[in-house]
Amino acid sequence: MSIATIEKMPTALSGDARAGKYLTFVLGREEFAIRVIKVREIMKIQDITAVPQTPGYVKGVINLRGKVIPVVDLRLKFGLAELEYTPRTCIIVVQMQGEGVTVQTGLVVDEVSEVLSLAANEIENTPDFGEGAGAAYLLGMAKVKGKVKILLDIDQVLNSQELGGVDALIRK
Amino acid sequence: MFEAGNLLRQRVDDLATRLVMGETDVTLWSTLLGNVREQAEAGGEAEVARLAAQAIDKLPSAAAGVASFEVLFSADILALQKAAAGESAPVTAPAPGPVKAPPVALGEDPEMIADFILESREHLHQVEIQMMTLEKDPGDMEAINTVFRGFHTIKGLAGFLDFADIREVAHETETLLDLARNQEVRITSRIVDLVLAAADFLKVWLTRLEAQLAGGDPGPAPETALLLERLKQGATPGESAVAAPATPAVTTAPVVNTAPAASASSVKVDTSKLDALVDMAGEMVIAQAMVRHHPELAALQSPALLRSLAQLARITGEVQKTAMSMRMVPVAGLFQKMNRLVRDLGRKTGKQAEMEAFGAETELDRNVVEELADPLMHMVRNAMDHGLEPPEERRAAGKDPQGRVRLKASHQAGHIVIEIADDGRGLVREKILAKARRTGLVEDGEHLSDHDVFNYIFHPGFSTAAQVTDVSGRGVGMDVVKRQIQKLRGRIDIESQPGQGTSFFLRLPLTLAMIDGLVVGVGQERYVLPIFSVHEVLQPKAEMIFTVEGRQEMAMVRESLLPVVRLYRRLGVAPCSEEAAECLLVVAEAGDQRFCLMVDKLIGKQEVVIKSLGEQLRDTPGVAGGAILGDGRVSLILDLDRIYRLGTA
């Protein structure tokens, strides 16, 4: 099954739709995963030019081979404590389909781990934390070798303003 | 009496043109039809008056959208035209046929249609240029042949693609031109009008086809039957001989230097590819600089290596320049449009005018040229309507009855200056001042320079025009023009001598893609200020700064008190120093406000390519975009007007 067809299938309840290749990365003590097809490239942390009058999680802009793209600190986006950048800090450049144009955004994460192939039977639905159904940006949870990875719908993450709930997951 | 009849006929013809062009402004129709009726009544043309009144009665239903203007009016206006031309009105007006806007069957091959649109547009562009020439010199066989060939080709292609309306109009125009070619019909202004109306009609169709190709709504079809009827009338030799007006109202000079540009071979390229090329060229220059200044290479101290690196620098610079220049187009096309406008307006207002164009080969960024069309059109319209006097008045003032509108493009210090000048009555200082007093802009007894006074015409809602005509003085004013020019990061200046004429000078950047920037440092950050809004940079002394009401700081610069904006406060960064004496003041002007920006240091002057910050950050207040500096890092280009207003809001 090609990746393109996976993308077109409903992401709702079927475990099959969520199966596929994921890039995993670390924020704090948790591991997250986003679809590899969304990832354009990964780069070491570099100087970011701050932009005034923007939400705190927007760290600023960088030069990606002649194009200026915004950079979002995923820690701050999820309401986690700010952490000083280290040599392991990475920027994952993801691309999304905007209105007629491809929009690229950089995501600052603590550390990039690996690319994983997730089978349908490894993926479970997000548990209910008493706030109704799991937030829209959470695709589900995957258990690999006894460790839990949180699957993110990165489009939803970047399109929504307030992102509570992740800390609840992490505190658990 | 003859004069009056001629004017009436012109007005009716104008109605017909508007109908063909799809004018739908009900108020305008009502005014125009009212004029015709009054004039017809005064001139004893009872039949014309009756028909005009009949058309006015139908206006409400057109306004309510019951039926389109074409359906309602085409029969009436045709009858009006005939009545005005002295013929008896037909007992039954020819049925215009139901004008619907059926989507044209586009056939199998959209690419062929796209080619047809492109080719036809080029022909129509030539037709406009040549018709201008023909109006001046009706005997120019080459011009007639070019126009004839244009319509002939369009007819052939339209026939092949089965676009009946286009084919018929092209065919009738061709017939008319054939008669002219065989000297059976003289080319008069009326014939020129007809051919141009046909060209406009075809343009509307091409736009509709294009919209349909793109999957959009083509909009209403223009009225065909009326135009065909007019073309057929025009092709009747007797008719046109009578219609030859006593004096050609307008002569227009062909735009200088268009021919060589047209003959150069060219390639059409998608603009996104061009943008990518410009991006990459910019990156190459940066990468090249990084290699060239790399300390390890410098340590080698090899002359051969240095020579090669210098060569590389030169070539990359050249590549970037060439990439940038690919977006540039000559202003000739724009001037051509104005030429046509001057001609049409001359016919409409009964003024005699000649348009002169200089420097049409001057090149400007495509985007600037496109954005410039509207303000330029507005200013030319003003020059024709308010600037130039009617022929009698000019004669009385001892001037050539034929007025001049001059368009001139030239390079000046990295900018392009476009001058729009007329030799009309000029701006009347007293009139503007009186109006400014009435609207409370000026206090009595205030002394103002001519420059200040003239600038009042850029205030919203400021018009000294005694009467609103359908040409100008309606809706958009000079304030809109000024705003559009400022949006293009340009400036507008006025010079005027009473009785001698008025000149407007538009000073514009060559491109919107690049900007001359002043790079300043605030704390750890660097920002780019557009140099066109910077007046000077100075090192303040502590006693130059005053504090008003304990908060707002002011600086005394050359005997004027200017507000001080501490840039680090607006942008929320930590400065190197808060002590005014250790900082620099950048005297800037944005909007109409002059103020001082306090920055830590001056880094340099640099030409930078403006990059969008992307969808999410596009509307960040105070930031106009991003620039990639020599070290590959991004720096923000500031929007000084917004920066200033961030504090006052």
Q: What is the pLDDT of residue B648?
A: 63
Residues in A closer than 8 angstroms to B626, CB to CB, are 49, 61, 68
Residue B249 lies in a domain: no
**B389-432 pLDDT, tens digit each:** 888 888 988 888 889 999 999 988 778 899 999 998 888 888 88
Is B433 found in the same domain as B480?
yes
Give yes or no: residues B129 and B141 share one domain: yes
Neighbours of B235 (CB within 10 A): 21
Nearest by Cα to B135 from B197, B172, B184, B190: B190
Chain A touched by B575 (CB under 8 Å): no
Which has more pLDDT, B300 or B11? Answer: B300
| Average confidence (pLDDT) over B125-150 | 84
Taking an 8 Å cut-off on Cβ atoms, the answer to whether B282 and A66 are in contact is: yes
- Identify which has the larger pLDDT, B385 or B261: B385
| B487 and B528 share one domain | no
- Cross-chain Cβ contact B628/A62 below 8 Å: no
B358 and B425 part of one domain:
yes
Residue B266 in domain? no
Chain A contact for B618 (CB, 8 A cutoff): no
Say yes or no for a CB contact (<8 Å) between B615 and A101: yes
Q: A1 at the B interface (CB within 8 A)? A: no
| Contact at CB, A49 and B570, closer than 8 angstroms | no
What's the CATH fold of domain A19-171? OB fold (Dihydrolipoamide Acetyltransferase, E2P) (2.40.50)
Q: 10 Å Cβ neighbour count for B512?
A: 18
Say whether pLDDT at B204 is over 90.
no
A61-65, B168-172, B249-253: least confidently modelled range: B249-253
Q: In what order do the strands lie in the sheet with B403-412?
A: B250-252, B353-358, B403-412, B415-422, B501-509, B491-497
The reply to whether B322 and B350 lie within a common domain is no
Q: Read off the pLDDT band of B537 (50, 70, 90).
A: very high
Residue of A nearest to B569 (CA): A52
* Beta pairing class for A147-152 and A30-35: parallel
Task: Please say if the pLDDT value at position A72 is more than 50.
Answer: yes
Asked if the C-beta of B292 comes within 8 angstroms of chain A's C-beta atoms, the answer is no
Compute the residue count for chain A: 172
- Predicted local distance difference test score (pLDDT) of residue B601: 92
Same domain, B472 and B388: yes
B429 found inside a domain = yes
A49, A105, A107, A161, best to mutate vs chain B, most B CBs in 10 Å: A49
- Comparing A170 with B82, which gets the higher pLDDT? B82
Report which residue type is found at B258.
T
Please tell me whether residues B494 and B518 are part of one structural domain: no
Is it the case that residue B220 has pLDDT exceeding 80? no
Would you state the pLDDT for residue B357?
92
Query: Which pLDDT value is given to residue B72?
Result: 65
How many Å apart are CA B52 and CA B44, to the nearest integer?
Answer: 13
Residue B227, domain CATH: 1.20.120.160
Given this model, what pLDDT does residue B311 score? 93
- Are B348 and B307 in a shared domain? no
Please report which residue ranges of B458-516 form alpha helices under DSSP H.
478-487
CB-based contact (8 Å) between A104 and chain B? yes
Strand partners, B637: B528, B625
Determine whether the interchain pair A51/B623 forms a contact, defined as Cβ–Cβ distance below 8 Å.
yes
Q: Does A70 touch chain B (CB under 8 A)?
A: yes
**Looking at the structure, do residues B384 and B461 belong to the same domain, yes or no?**
yes
Choose the mutation target among B277, B608, B634, B638 for the interface with A, i.e. most A CBs under 10 Å.
B634
Identify whether residues B406 and B449 lie together within a single domain: yes
Would residue B409 count as lying in a domain? yes
Owner of token pair 């001058």: B419
What integer is the mean pLDDT of B128-137? 83
The pLDDT of residue A13: 47
* Residue B17 binned pLDDT confidence (cut-offs 50, 70, 90): low
- Would B258 be classed as within a structural domain? no
CATH at residue B319: 1.10.287
User: What ipTM was predicted for this assembly?
Assistant: 0.78
Above 70 in pLDDT, residue A134? Answer: no
pLDDT at residue A106 in the model: 94
Average pLDDT, stretch B575-594? 85
A67-73/A102-109 β-pairing: parallel
Phi-psi category of residue B546: left, alpha or beta, with phi > 0 → left and psi -120 to 50 → alpha? beta
Confidence label for B237 from pLDDT (cuts 50, 70 and 90): low
> Which residue did the predictor score with more confidence, B231 or A6?
B231
Distance, CA of B388 to CA of B421 (rounded, Å): 10
Q: Let me know whether B411 and B320 are in one domain.
A: no
Q: Note the pLDDT of residue B108.
A: 57
Asked whether the beta carbons of residue B632 and residue A63 sit closer than 8 angstroms, the reply is yes
Tally of domains in chain B: 5
Contacts A45 to B, Cβ<8 Å: none
**What percent of the residues of chain A are helix, what percent strand, and what percent coil, each to the nearest 5?**
20, 45, 40
Question: How high is the pLDDT of residue B479?
Answer: 82
* Domain contains B7: yes
Question: Chain B closest CA to A103's CA: distance in Å?
Answer: 7
Range of the domain at B317: 271-327
Give yes or no for residue A24 having a pLDDT over 90: yes
Contact between B622 and A103 using a beta-carbon 8 Å cutoff = no
Evaluate whether residue B453 is within a structural domain.
Answer: yes
Burial B477-505, CB ≥16 within 10 A → b, else e? bbeebbebbeebbbbbebbbeeeebbbbb
Number of H helices, E strands in chain A: 5, 11
Which of B461, B482, B509 is the endpoint of a domain?
B509
Residues B547 and B403 in one domain: no
CB atoms within 10 A of CB A117: 11
Per-residue pLDDT band for B215 (boundaries 50, 70, 90) equals confident
The answer on pLDDT for A5 being more than 60 is no
> Do the domain assignments include residue B105?
no
Backbone φ, ψ for residue B65 (5° rounding): 80, 20
